[in-house]
Structure 1
Amino acid sequence: QNSNTGSTRDRPNIAYIVDYNIVHTTADPVIANRKDKTVYLNPAAFAIPTRGTFGNAPRNYFDGPGMNNWDLMLAKNFRKEGLNVQFRTEFFNAFNHPSFNQPNRFLDATSFGTITSTLLENRQIQFGLKINY
């Protein structure tokens, strides 16, 4: 609430970046060497703005890691003398690819920049049988 607007989601100051359009330069450059793989944003790249001011980070600056989700459906129809049977198998998140949630954006939190949850469920499979006569 440094801007005195009553909002708890004030924008931070970007500490060392030159091009505000390049979001990923605020990601931790040595993340491959870290033991904690949940850190997505480098906390040292941001600073809490002084009281009564807005931060210099643009609106909607924090971007998550993106999403990759594939849903598939397979069906087989059987027809015989006035009877139609359809067997279906539906796969939600078929390749079980994790889609991570947004990183924590509260600058004063100890977990700033970390991703602590996933956005979607794990793979789910459902079967269906439809009979028309």
Structure 2
Amino acid sequence: QEALNPGIYMGLGPCTLRGVNYASCSTAANTDARRVFSQVSAEAAQKLSYVSQYRAIGTQNYRGLKLSFQRRAAQGVSLGGNYTVSHCTTDTPVTGNFVQFNATWLKPGDPSYDRGNCPYNQREIANFTASAQAPQFTNRTLRLVASNWRLSGILNANTGNWLTVTTTQDRAFSGIPTQRVNQAAANPYAAKTLTNYLSAAAFAIPAAGTLGNEAARSIEGPGFWKVDVSIARILALGASRTMEFRIEAFNLFNNFNWGDPNIGLDAGTFGQITTQTGDPRIMQFAIKYGF
């Protein structure tokens, strides 16, 4: 048989070329030889190193609704909060720069193939604040013990980031990394536990020479929430002198916020969560003297 055009992939075999037997008629180890420039002028292409091409194209669309409320101090209590529900879609996760045309998109001639949710578009974000100021008691004992205390708290919560399951293999033989896989089941999740968040059975490596059918950034990662609290008291010492005592707790309930699961289908830890988002409980104490 004769050598085939390297720009055409044929997974058939065996083939015999120049007296050597090959398992298949094409190889995935000739990325440079399969590039268009190499086929037009192989000699000139050998003198050219890797070249990045940038294009001023790509779009993002965002729609959102934000609700907020505030209740100012009434008998020492103040409340406030906001809630945002939104949806952002894009054909490129790149922001603030031109798009690397020959590496960012898996199909450079069709950016719509990479359209999906924006990677860090949490669909729902909520914040709630509350504070309470103890009154100035007239009873001497109560005034010494309970006056001038202030309690404040903040609740932050949001839904997860959007993820894409990928493979390290160049299944499309395009030389573009982190290609998407095939999604074989409508539900990509497993038990949603630390060791089994995503189901490996819901995905498959694409056939040689093809791109996966999984939608870009279509899998939602774990959500997040935490509560921060502070307690403070300011004592007047006279002659413009004050003493402030403060206790602060970040992530008061020590909630373990899961990180994103491993999205590399080739990895032995695929679908497992091995990281956390945010910090564990942190407490700090302070005394401040003012004069």
- TM-score of the pair, normalised by structure 2: 0.39
**Structure 1 or 2: more strand by fraction:** 2
Matched, 1:119 2:289: no
Q: How many Å separate the matches in 1 of 2:235 and 2:175?
A: 64
- Which whole-Å CA distance do the structure 1 matches of 2:255 and 2:284 have between them? 18
Q: Which of structure 1's runs of 4+ aligned residues deviate more than 6 A?
A: none
Q: Quote the RMSD (CA, aligned, Å).
A: 1.9
Residue in structure 1 matching 2:259, options 93, 98, 101:
101
SS in 1 for 2:201: helix
Q: Does 1:84 align with 2:84?
A: no
Gaps in structure 1 of 5+ consecutive residues? 18-24
Map 1:1-133 to 2 at 5 A: 1-3=170-172, 4-7=174-177, 9-17=178-186, 25-28=187-190, 31=191, 37-81=194-238, 82-133=240-291
**Preserved CA contact (<8 Å) 1:63 1:102:** no
Q: Secondary structure at the match of 1:128?
A: strand
Structure 2 contact 171–209 (Cα < 8 Å) conserved = yes
Deviation per residue, 1:38-76 (Å, 9 max, x gap):
210011001112234332222212322111112222211
Contact 1:13 1:48 in 2 (8 A): yes
- The aligned length equals 120
The change in CA–CA distance for 1:5 and 1:72 in structure 2 (over 3 A counts) is: farther
Distance change in 2, residues 1:128/1:72 (3 Å): same
> Which amino acid in structure 2 is aligned with residue 75 of structure 1?
A
CA displacement, residues 10-35 of structure 1 (integer Å, 9 cap, x when unaligned): 22211022xxxxxxx2211xx38xxx
CA shift in 2, pair 1:37/1:100, >3 Å: closer
Residue 77 to residue 109, structure 1, CA distance change in 2 (3 Å): same
Percent identity for Structure 1 against Structure 2: 34
1:20 match: none
Which has the higher Rg, Structure 1 or Structure 2? 2
SS of 2:224's equivalent in the other structure is coil
Higher relative CO (Cα under 8 Å, sequence separation at least 6) belongs to 1
**CA pair 130-5 structure 1, distance change in 2 beyond 3 A:** farther
Q: Which runs of 5+ in 2 are unaligned?
A: 1-169
TM-score (norm. length: structure 1): 0.80
**Conservation of the 8 A alpha-carbon contact between 1:39 and 1:114:** yes
Q: Distance in 2 between matches of 1:88 and 1:49?
A: 58
